[in-house]
Amino acid sequence: MEQTRSNIDIHDWDARASEALANAKKLPLGSKRAEAIKKAGQLRVAADMKDLLMTKESAEQRKAAAV
């Protein structure tokens, strides 16, 4: 099922990155496509960083609750 803006949680960065890449790949070859793929890659890195930071934050909260 193809995701659309209406059924993707705006805070779901992973889904937004995947959607951006899928849309970029639909563009014809050229500079606009290359730029769109580059931006989709940047969004993927941001999504991965957010996931990593949230995982660390959750671990710290669990550790604090155990004390």
Q: Taking each helix axis as running N to C, give the angle between helix 31-66 and helix 13-26, from 0 to 180 degrees, rounded to the nearest 10.
A: 170
Dist CA 56 CA 40 (whole Å):
24
- Residue 53 within a domain: yes
- Residue 19 within a domain: yes
Dist CA 22 CA 20 (whole Å):
6
Residue type at 38?
K
Determine the pLDDT at residue 61.
Answer: 72
Determine the pLDDT at residue 44.
Answer: 93
Residue 34 belongs to what domain range? 8-66
Determine the pLDDT at residue 4.
Answer: 52
Q: Look at residue 50 and tell me whether its pLDDT is greater than 60.
A: yes
- Residue 12 within a domain: yes
What single-letter DSSP state applies at residue 3? -
> Largest Cα–Cα distance of the chain, in whole Å?
56
- Residue 2 within a domain: no
Q: Look at residue 15 and tell me whether its pLDDT is greater than 50.
A: yes
pTM of this structure:
0.67
The number of folded domains in the chain is 1
- Residue 31 within a domain: yes
Stretch 41-67: mean pLDDT, rounded? 81
- Residue 1 within a domain: no
